[in-house]
Structure 1
Amino acid sequence: MKRLKVLQILIVLSIIMGGCGNENKENQTSQKNTSQKVDDDNKSSKKETSTTSSNEEVEVSPLPSTYQELENLPAGKDSERIPTLTEEDKDKVVERFKDLPDIQNNPSKKELDYFYQELLKRVQRDFKGPDSLIKQMKFQSFGDPEIEDSRYQFKENLNVEIILDASGSMAQDVGGTTKMDAAKEEIKKFVESLPEGTKMGLRVYGHKGSNADSDKELSCNSSEMMYSIEPLEDSKFQSALDLVQPNGWTPITLALNEAKKDLSTLKGENNTNIVYLVSDGIETCDQDPVAAAKDLYDSNLKPIINVIGFNVDADGQRQLKDIADATEGIYENVEDQASLKSELKKIQSVAESWERWKRKGKQSIELKEVQNSLDIFGYITQESVKVTTEKTQIDLFLSILANHGKMDTESNTYLSEKNREYHEWMYAEVEEFEQELRAINEKSYKEAMKALEQKYNINTQ
């Protein structure tokens, strides 16, 4: 707990200093990384008027009582770091939140709770439970002899197929380059780093026509294997990449169905098949990509299906995470070229382990206990930062609104205490996760995965 408290203090200081001009360095993952579903009750509460005059006009939803409920909440539209240092900054905060419920005239406890609920919706961070980390730990332990799931056991052949979004939105700028150019560059580097013997395939989708309504039918029927699953030939692969340009709609379902055909001769009994779907948005061709992904996953190909969201909005993250969840795969949202490179390196690590396994002629992969420890530390730190940032930002907003006459002292005290209690509960949850994950990491792989799956119900399909 001491470590968390020190971390809290550091984050508070960084937020205050951020008002001097560093606010644009906000962790982008906290801006957009949301793969959560909106609760219907939360939606229904929005039909109430923002100005409250009686208890009958408001409907207060209970705050999350489990981390899973917290994870299911969408990130708020004002979840980025907002400067609050200067008087001008504070005036902008008041203007920004002027549509929050009016609590200036002797509000009831229910009206204050409703105000907090609406403010929280606006600034909610994209919290993540430990299940995504657990899936990552399982992927990193690929090939361990104790793994019971045959998908994660090394076979004679390793095949990797990347399914790349070529819809029009991939032409958008991200970090000084387009999403498509960034993806091309990192995919090229990735395939060049694969060990000899790895077979690689590249499929694109949405690359024909345009994203105009008149081209929808053409684009929604466009998915093409640009490089068949085979060992890498540099010039041939580069030529295939050069042909890909961002153009049309987003037929994810079609691409997943076609990927099943691409791998049809590579049965799971003697092939380790890994599929990576890279997309910057949701299916736009009126199909069901989750069902298509599940069909591929349940086939005798026994593929591992992971999903990379490239600078995706909230709706896109939600659907892409659903695809990963339906196939017990990993979903990661990347914001720029550097984070895409980091994600692709995870497959490279697996391929290198496979090469060592083949060279030695037997399974001799050691558990990555040290790497797991680093990942646990990273996850705990990330969640703690989110808790601290959200709590501190709300406290600052409450203080500013009170100083501008938007609430009285008694209301400010009540809301500040509510905010403190709510986030203290979050801190306790994160601390418990850390203790449990570290204890489990000390066990053997088989014991660890069994304990993790029982604790967090990872395999629910």
Structure 2
Amino acid sequence: MSVRYFFTLSLLFMLMGLTACSPPASSDSRQPSSPLKKTVLDQPKKPATDAKGMLQEGPGKWAGDKFEKYPLHKDLDHLPSKMKAEEAYAYLIRLLAEDYRPVKEKLDDFQPNLVPKLSKQPDKLEKKVNIAILLDASGSMAEYVQGVQKMKWAKDAIHHFVSKLPSNVSVSLRVYGHMGSSQEKDKEISCHSSELVYPLGTYQKEKFAQALHRFEPAGFTPLALSVREAGKDLPPNRANEQNLIYVVSDGEETCGGNPVAEAQKVHQSRTKAVVNVIGFAVNDQGQQALKKMAKAGGGVYTTVDSGPELNRYWQDEYTHLLFDWFGWRAENELEVILLAKEKKAELEKLVSPDLVLHGEDKKSLFYSLLIRENQRLVQAAYYLKQKGKLQEPEQLSRRIQDRYTKLDQFARQRFASFNQSIQKSKQQLLQTIQHRSS
């Protein structure tokens, strides 16, 4: 929820009162029956017109936890009648301005640059990894899950995964079942369709994106054929090197092949590839078949029933890859990522404009003050209007809005600037780690 929405509600409430007809002031309203309070009626200094000055005006008499409604009303009753907007605003600031100085000092002291404690880089070379991804493009992948086509979910998730892989990881993409159709007359051509659309090599954004756009869901599921061909896409296993195959499928073999046997052959071949299988919205029979295939290939079978689950699978797999293969780099990248997360959380607690932080309905320190102050100013202005003490109620409304807007802009600019610095520091450190590990 936007803080501007919160302010609009308060302002609308005030304007409804300000535009309503109010009874004329009585003849003795300008002369209170009790003695005037000199501490309230002393002419206040001219209010600030910029955010820098506004932040120094508090605390007012009834700011923060000192606020009491009825004693405030007594002070408001002692104010002169028929005040102009600027005079009324000055008195309200003297009474209700929040104390922004502590949070302003914290913002001034905030350090957005990250200072991680990087561990010593080991002498051991990192392991080279080859990944072959097999993507099911049979006709059933045209079905929709949560309003999005299965194939789109799969393409987007795979692309996001490979885009984050380090430079010493080579990747290939093979698609199967993408020719012909799911009709019996096209079965032969479909069951022989297995194409390497992105040969094994380092990730290149444009080329990989082009490869993903070369096919759409079409026919049957020649899973066994594709696993056998994937074994040829990978090099023989060597020291300090590992071969992995990831199969993404929404169903079992439909072309008469034996994917379990093919997975076992690939795993026991010179490539020594590990075959992991991801079943995407698969029925019970399909799950059982795919589980056997993964087990035969020395890998793990995982079921995902939605697009977000598929995204989480690849994210988890990326994390596992980092820890399994790139010890020093993983340890230090994680240190930087967590440090940036903590630093941003610290910033959010101070000055985030969001009304919901980390899933909880609470505001940052700055906006807790700002919203509370605005509510009280609006309510006090409405009270003065009802008491016939304002000559220019609309101008007072605009003056209060101007204060809120300027302080809101100040906070948003500081938040955006600090957050940008945090992200920049994070990226610079990650690049340094990647360079040292390449």
TM-score of the pair, normalised by structure 2? 0.46
Larger RCO, structure (CA 8 Å, separation 6 or more): 2
Q: Which has the larger radius of gyration?
A: 2
TM-score of the pair, normalised by structure 1? 0.43
